[in-house]
Structure 1
């Protein structure tokens, strides 16, 4: 698959780049994408939720009423879960939600996600540029010239560039990453991938 290369003004440069079919043209595996996204979201969870069970509640241990003859159910403690202010039955406890996946499966998931974006014409190639200093307004103007305003855009750099990263992160629907740091969730969550021209070479070893 060949794509046109655009410059910062949104105009075609006349150059074309070829996307490797081994990465952007495979048969997508939906289950691999599901597992990788599930793992990503699970790894974001803090898992610090906690509620008190009846043994952890501070309260009297005195028997509330006599065992028999009251006409209601027997009750032995104010800390029972059936009473207001009592402990919680099987409440949440701190835990680690993360789980492992095979590297080959995660690789397949990323390729599947990229293939979906390629088949949906959701990838645009941008001519490489640099910024002398962080300028969010300049990056916003690039998005406007490419008609990407209002879309969730993932900018893919060949390597980290501090000025560009600082410029992009102020925009609520924009995110920036490098080829080496790409993950399935970010790819699938974006409406549009904006890939630097020199990033394509790195996808051959993706």
Structure 2
């Protein structure tokens, strides 16, 4: 699959790049994508939920009434779960929701997400550029030239450029990051991918 390379003015440079079929042309595995996204979301959970059990409630331990002869059920403590203010039975406790996935499965998930975007023709290739200083206004003008200012976009960097990254931090629905800082969730969640020209070889070498 070949795509035209655009410049920061949104114009065709006359050059084309080929997207590797082993990364951008496979049959997407929906299950691999599901597991990767599930892992990412699970890892975001703090797992600090907690309710107090019977032994953690502060209250009197005095027996409420005599054992027999009242005509009602026996009751030994005000902290019993059957009373208002008592402990919770089988309530949530702190836990770790994270789980592990094999490296090859995570690579397959990324390849599947990239292939799906390529199939939907939602990938643009932008020639490498740099900014002398972090300038959000200048970065926004580049997005407008690419007609991507109103689209949830993910920009994958090749060569490190801190100023490009810093210029994008305050822009809504835009994420800029090198490949190692991007998850399958980011790829699936984006409506459009913008690949810096130098990132294509990085993606190919990393995922193969």
What TM-score results when the alignment is normalised by the length of structure 1? 0.95
SS in 1 for 2:54: coil
Q: 1:162 aligns to what?
A: 162
**1:135 CA drift (Å):** 0.9
CA contact (8 A) 1:169 1:175 kept: yes
Which runs of 5 or more structure 2 residues have no equivalent in the other structure? none
CA contact (8 A) 2:154 2:187 kept: yes
SS in 1 for 2:142: helix
What TM-score results when the alignment is normalised by the length of structure 2? 0.94
Matched residues, number: 206
Q: What is the rounded CA distance, in whole Å, between the counterparts of 1:103 and 1:90 in structure 2?
A: 36
Deviating above 3 A after TM superposition, structure 1's stretches of 4 or more consecutive aligned residues are: 68-72
Supply the RMSD in Å over aligned alpha carbons. 1.3
Q: What is the rounded CA distance, in whole Å, between the counterparts of 1:23 and 1:90 in structure 2?
A: 47
Structure 1 residues 90, 160: closer, same or farther in 2, change over 3 A?
Answer: farther
Structure 1 residues 160, 81: closer, same or farther in 2, change over 3 A?
Answer: farther
**1:66 CA drift (Å):** 2.7
Q: What is the rounded CA distance, in whole Å, between the counterparts of 1:141 and 1:67 in structure 2?
A: 79
Q: How does 1:126-137 map to 2 (within 5 A)?
A: 126-137=126-137
Choose 150-159 or 113-122, whichever is displaced more. Answer: 150-159
Residues 107-149 of structure 1: CA distance to partner in whole angstroms, max 9, x if unpaired?
Answer: 1000000000100111111111101111111111111122222
Q: 2:103 aligns to what?
A: 103
Q: What is the rounded CA distance, in whole Å, between the counterparts of 1:66 and 1:130 in structure 2?
A: 82
Choose 59-68 or 112-121, whichever is displaced more. Answer: 59-68
Q: What is the rounded CA distance, in whole Å, between the counterparts of 1:72 and 1:140 in structure 2?
A: 72
Residues 149-190 of structure 1: CA distance to partner in whole angstroms, max 9, x if unpaired?
Answer: 222111100133211111111112111111233321110011
Which runs of 5 or more structure 1 residues have no equivalent in the other structure? none
CA contact (8 A) 2:4 2:125 kept: yes
